[in-house]
């Protein structure tokens, strides 16, 4: 391997820059030429590819977002699009690819490897934490910190006005951010897509808390829940809790921004180095992850199947602490 290109794809996540920096610096350490592909697979198709130098990656470790920009590319889902992308890599004589992104982006890398045999390795970069083969994905910890910090602020106003807040957090169809936010911000209840909580049970719990004279009530709702988002659930139960001033807050994209936490910086840095070393050792079509504090390489096909389960014990804790 002589020339490695790196890209970020799908939803951006804090720590992507730290992963880019580590990948590029590791490449320089091993005397490789490093390239940046802008706007993910879309940029690969449009030949938006530039040679990177040290100056391009200085002072990016601590910055949120991604200097390479990210995109969702419909064209890359087509064989013609992928062929164009491959031809562009050939033009630059790129013989290794590091893809930083979520399950969709890694699915793309897997297909690309199968079709063209270009050595590719993935780094899990998504706030959703929904990939197998790693305990944590880059961006998840920062997103949880951001959510918890926001909920602390909401609690101040909730307490002052005896309000009931429904706070919706991100995570697509996974409840990882919700469960962490639920535990970390002492939520009255936490609704995640992986577990059913009938609306009646939620109403009962909130009524019980009223009797217990709880000062504030915050319910965390994962965006991908089966009973609907925060607004829908609030609408469904408002008649049954007429004495509450019910408010809905959707945290939305603020969860994606901000400087990465220490944990995300360290994770991203380890995985950037691991990605380059993996490619040099002939580990292709795998994702670098960290399990029990050790770097592991998992076949992408395994990392993207379904998604990792929310830990039963975490769910147990959230239940006990919010009762
Ligand atoms: P996040 O989890 O943060 O949303 P993601 O990587 O899962 O990130 P997606 O939009 O699912 O985000 O995927 C990003 C891009 O990866 C897509 O726009 C597309 O270009 C490519 N991709 C996804 N799935 C496939 C597929 N089945 N075949 C080819 N390319 C794909």
Average pLDDT over residues 136-160: 95
A 10 A CB-CB count for 280 gives 16
Q: Who wins on pLDDT, 208 or 185?
A: 185
How high is the mean pLDDT of the chain?
95
Question: Catalytic site residues?
Answer: 128
Are the C-beta atoms of 222 and 130 separated by less than 8 Å? no
Residue 210 has pLDDT above 80, yes or no: no
Count Cα neighbours of 227 within 13 Å in the Cβ-side half-sphere.
23
| β-sheet bridge partners, residue 8 | 100
Predicted TM-score (pTM) above 0.80? yes
* pLDDT classification of 162: cutoffs 50, 70, 90: confident
Predicted local distance difference test score (pLDDT) of residue 41 = 98
- Separation between Cα atoms, residue 84 and residue 46, nearest integer Å: 8
Predicted local distance difference test score (pLDDT) of residue 11 = 95
Edge-to-edge strands, sheet with 294-299: 49-51, 33-37, 3-8, 96-101, 120-124, 286-291, 294-299
Predicted confidence (pLDDT) per residue in 278-314, tens digit: 999 999 999 999 999 999 999 999 999 877 889 999 9
Å from CA of 237 to ligand 1 middle: 36
Pocket lining: 133 vs ligand 1, CB cutoff 6 Å: no
Residue 38's SS3 state is coil
Q: Which of 7, 8, 10, 256 to mutate to test the pocket of ligand 1 (most atoms within 8 A of CB)?
A: 10
Percent of the chain predicted with pLDDT > 70: 100
Å from CA of 150 to ligand 1 middle: 29
Predicted confidence (pLDDT) per residue in 220-268, tens digit: 999 998 889 999 999 999 999 988 889 999 999 999 999 999 999 999 9
Residue 301's SS3 state is helix
Pocket lining: 84 vs ligand 1, CB cutoff 6 Å: no
Are the C-beta atoms of 120 and 285 separated by less than 8 Å? yes
Residue in the structure block whose two tokens are 């490897």: 113
Predicted confidence (pLDDT) per residue in 7-49, tens digit: 999 999 999 999 999 999 999 999 999 999 999 999 999 999 9
A 10 A CB-CB count for 252 gives 11
Task: Quote the Cα angle for 65-67-69, to 5°.
Answer: 75
Which residue puts its alpha carbon closest to atom 26 of ligand 1?
108
Pocket lining: 185 vs ligand 1, CB cutoff 6 Å: no
Q: What are phi and psi of 204, to 5 degrees?
A: -60, -45
Predicted local distance difference test score (pLDDT) of residue 296 = 98
Predicted confidence (pLDDT) per residue in 112-123, tens digit: 999 999 999 999
* pLDDT classification of 161: cutoffs 50, 70, 90: confident
Q: Which of 104, 113, 287 to mutate to test the pocket of ligand 1 (most atoms within 8 A of CB)?
A: 104
Pocket lining: 112 vs ligand 1, CB cutoff 6 Å: no
Residue 214 has pLDDT above 80, yes or no: no
């Amino acid at each position: 391997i002589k020339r490695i290109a790196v890209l970020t794809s799908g939803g951006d996540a804090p720590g992507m820059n730290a992963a880019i920096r580590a990948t590029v610096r590791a490449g320089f350490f091993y005397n490789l030429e490093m390239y940046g592909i802008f706007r993910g697979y879309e940029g690969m198709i449009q030949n938006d590819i530039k040679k990177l130098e040290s100056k391009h990656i200085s002072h990016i470790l601590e910055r949120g977002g991604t200097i390479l920009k990210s995109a969702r590319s419909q064209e890359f889902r087509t064989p013609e699009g992928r062929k164009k992308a491959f031809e562009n890599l050939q033009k630059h004589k790129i013989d290794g690819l590091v893809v930083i992104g979520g399950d969709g982006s890694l699915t793309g890398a897997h297909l690309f490897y199968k079709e063209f045999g270009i050595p590719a390795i993935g780094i899990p970069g998504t706030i959703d934490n929904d990939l197998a083969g790693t305990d944590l994905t880059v961006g998840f910890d920062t997103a949880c910190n951001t959510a918890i910090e926001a909920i602390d602020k909401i609690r101040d106003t909730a307490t002052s006005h005896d309000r009931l807040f429904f706070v919706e957090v991100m995570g697509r169809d996974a409840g990882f951010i919700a469960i962490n936010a639920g535990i970390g911000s002492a939520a009255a209840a936490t609704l995640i897509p992986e577990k059913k909580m009938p609306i009646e049970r939620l109403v009962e719990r909130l009524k019980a808390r009223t009797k217990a004279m709880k000062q504030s009530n915050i319910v965390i709702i994962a965006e991908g829940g089966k009973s609907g988002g925060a607004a829908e659930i609030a609408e469904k139960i408002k008649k049954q809790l007429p004495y509450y001033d019910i408010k809905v807050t959707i945290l939305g994209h603020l969860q994606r921004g901000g400087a990465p936490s220490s944990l995300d910086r360290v994770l991203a840095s380890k995985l950037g180095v691991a990605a380059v070393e993996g490619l040099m050792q002939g580990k292709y079509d795998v994702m670098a992850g960290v399990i029990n504090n050790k770097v592991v390489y998992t076949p992408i096909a395994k990392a993207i199947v379904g998604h990792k389960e929310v830990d039963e014990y975490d769910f147990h804790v959230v239940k006990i602490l919010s009762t």
